[in-house]
Amino acid sequence: MDGANRRSAILTPRDWKEHPPYQYAGYKSSVLRSPSLPPIPRTDALRNLYAPVYGADQLGSQDADLTVNAAKNGAPLGERIVVTGRVLDEGGRPVRNTLVEIWQANAAGRYVHKGDQHDAPLDPNFLGAGRCLTDDQGRYQFLTIKPGAYPWGNHSNAWRPAHIHFSLFGEYFGSRLVTQMYFPGDPLLDLDPIYQGTPTHARERLVSRFTLDATQEGYALGYEFDIVLRGPRQTPAE
C-alpha cells in the first residue's frame, strides 16, 4: 500500500458511537470540561500532518520497566505484572515503531502528583510512568506493578477500578489516542461512571485479558491489551 492510500485508510472518519460522550452525567467533571460547540473538521490537514517524534529518540533502556526505572533503594511494593499487546490500525495491520506511554497509580492507589492527596503511602521506588516503541509486529511490552483502586470524590463512596492510562501517537496526529486499560473481573467496573460511560458494546475493548503466555514464571503475571487506533473496532478514548 502506498503512502497516500495508507494515510486515507488510517484517517477514515471516526465512528463516535464507539466512544464515550464528552459529557456524561454520572462523571461529574465531564459536565464542566466538555465542549459546548461541535468539532471543526480538519481531515485534509490531518492527512498531511505526520505525528511529531515526542522525544522517542531519547528512550532509555529501562523506560519500559517501571519496577526499576525509578528505584532508589529497592524494588517497588506490590504485585508485579507484564502488560503487553499489539497496536493495530483499522485494517488489523501492525502500527510499527510508534510511541506508547503509560502512567498509573502505585499498588496503594496513589499517583506521584501533588494533586493526589489520597491518604495512601507513596512508594519511593515507583514513579508510575513508562514508555516504549512498538516492534515490527506492532507489539509493546511493559513490566510494572498492578495499580490499586482509589477514592475519587465523584459521588458518595466512589472508587476508581484499578487501571493504567495509555497515550499513543500512531503514525499521524489524527490517530492520537488516550485511553485506559482495566483488569478482568474487577467488581468496581460495574460502579464506575467512566467505564460505564463507554458505549455498552465497546466496553470489553477496555478490559485486558489474563494470559499465561505473557506471564513470567515465578515472577510476574501477564495481561494482554490490544489497541486499535481507528475504525469500527477502535479502542474507546478516555
Which residue among the candidates 19, 163, 205, 230 is catalytic per the annotation? 163
For the question of residue 209 being annotated catalytic, the response is no
For the question of residue 150 being annotated catalytic, the response is yes
Look up residue 33 and give its three cell numbers.
470540561
Which residue among the candidates 86, 160, 205, 230 is catalytic per the annotation? 160
Which residue among the candidates 19, 110, 131, 165 is catalytic per the annotation? 165
Which residue among the candidates 27, 111, 140, 172 is catalytic per the annotation? 111
For the question of residue 165 being annotated catalytic, the response is yes
- Could you give the CA distance from residue 117 to residue 158 in angstroms, rounded to a whole number? 15
Which residue among the candidates 150, 182, 195, 223 is catalytic per the annotation? 150
- What is the set of active-site residues? 111, 150, 160, 163, 165
